[in-house]
Chains A and B, each alone.
Chain A
Amino acid sequence: MDASAIYQVKLEVFEGPLDLLLFLIKKKKIDINDIPMATITKEYLEYLNHKEKINLDREAEFLLIASLLIYIKSQMLLPREKVLDEEKDPRQILVDQLLDYQKIKAASLLLRKKEEDELQKWKRTALPSQFQEEETDFMEVSLFDLAESFFSLMQKKEKKKIRTIKGKEFSLEEKMKEIMAILKGNLFIDFLDYFSQQESFEEAFVSFLSLLELIKSRIVIATQKGPFQPIKVMIRQEAYVKRKP
């Protein structure tokens, strides 16, 4: 159990099956151009066997290469009636792929070094905006956070089973105006508060779309202090001037 756990972690470390193969080749000090198929196939399969469950999303690729290894091994075992001149080594596909991959991997290491160098040079593009600088405590909320809060709230409301019959229709434009009016009166809107006040699902839904529209047009901004903190909506001010206390 313990041993398999270790191997499981290890498999995650490899970028993919080619990465694992290269690792095995290096470990065994094998010449990439002359791979002993039996040894490497055995080693490779051993690694895979240490995984208890196969996660098809990820390990399918490992299995694909495993089958390639077995295929090549079988090709090499089969006796041939006559050896063709310049017969292609069945290992060639694998070798080509490995050599290409090795180059990509080495290049990515060089790029990593360049990335590190470059990240130490700060450019004006990287400057946090004025707003973020003043309000370091707030993070901008992503669309998904908003949607998640909204739908969990709506689910809660649904459980109450309040049924209302209403003839009124809500328009995006009106709601946007309403939200802006509230924001001009108050400093911010508490996201959950605002939606729990809405009477019907339709109204809440239109309000939600209006809010998204306002965020998209960069008129308002949704922020929160940290994960699971209340979401606050306020007017986005590019040149946000905070009065010093």
Chain B
Amino acid sequence: MKNRLKEVIESLIFISLEPLTLEKIKNVLQEYPEEEVELAIKELLESYVTNERGIQIIQSAGGYLFSTSPEHDLWIKRLFKMERKAKLSSAALETLSAIAYHQPATLAEISAMRGVDSTHTLKTLLQKKLIKIVGRKKSPGSPLIYRTTDKFLAYFGLTDIKDLPSPEEISKILEKEKDIEEEESSVH
């Protein structure tokens, strides 16, 4: 019985184009106790880790999703005759990171943080649905306020907004930069 549940969940995840949340799985499988569903998911995930498979189930933007193994990138690109996937520009990335850490944020706040007018970059990010407008700020001019979307989480493989690189990780990077500089200066 439990095995069948596992297989049902596998089908549900397979057929979903967007990350399938635990909530949705539970809704669909309402006749089963929640603990049983959770256990089945756990077993399903484990079976994918232990078996030798080209595809995997990943957790992304608060849900489960099938993806290919990263090692197969080369051949998939060849199948689709693609050189490489388009990456975000560094301006877009910088703007996203400013929003992600200081959301909700207005255009003026984002521009001030970056020291650069970000009107255009925000437009691009909105088009890509990586950010969304969540309302207006109650301040002079009532400017629009922006937040990152679930698509943003999925794009970077984050489960939750709390998954963003932590302040510790960030200061680690900054420390590393410093170390490299010092090494360089000791060489010269």
Contact = CB atoms under 8 A, between A and B. Distances in A.
Contact of A121 (B70, B90, B94): B70
B80 A128 contact: yes
Nearest to B85: A119
Given A106-B170, A118-B157, A122-B73, A61 B115 contact: yes
Interface residues of B, number: 48
A124 B18 CA distance: 9
A122 B17 CA distance: 12
B22 interface: no
A26 B113 CA distance: 19
B169 interface: yes
B76 interface: yes
Interface in B72-95: 72-73, 76, 80-81, 85, 87-88, 90-91, 93-94
B165 A110 contact: yes
A15 B65 CA distance: 35
Given A61-B115, A107-B165, A117 B80 contact: no
Contacts of B96: 108, 111
Contact of B81 (A108, A117, A122, A136): A136
B36 interface: no
B156 A114 contact: yes
A33 to B, nearest CB: 13
Contacts of B81: 136
A61 B118 CA distance: 11
B181 interface: yes
Contact of A101 (B67, B115, B158): B115
B157 A97 contact: no
Nearest to A60: B117
- Which secondary structure dominates where chain A touches chain B? helix
B47 interface: no
B100 A26 contact: no
Nearest to B111: A61
Contact of B174 (A102, A119, A120, A121): A102
B173 A123 contact: no
Interface in A94-116: 97, 100-112, 114-116
A115 B152 CA distance: 10
13 contacts: A19-B115, A105-B94, A107-B170, A108-B93, A108-B96, A110-B165, A110-B169, A110-B173, A112-B87, A114-B157, A118-B156, A120-B70, A121-B70
Interface of B: 17-18, 56, 58, 65-73, 76, 80-81, 85, 87-88, 90-91, 93-94, 96-98, 100-101, 112-117, 155-158, 164-165, 167, 169-170, 173-174, 177, 181, 185
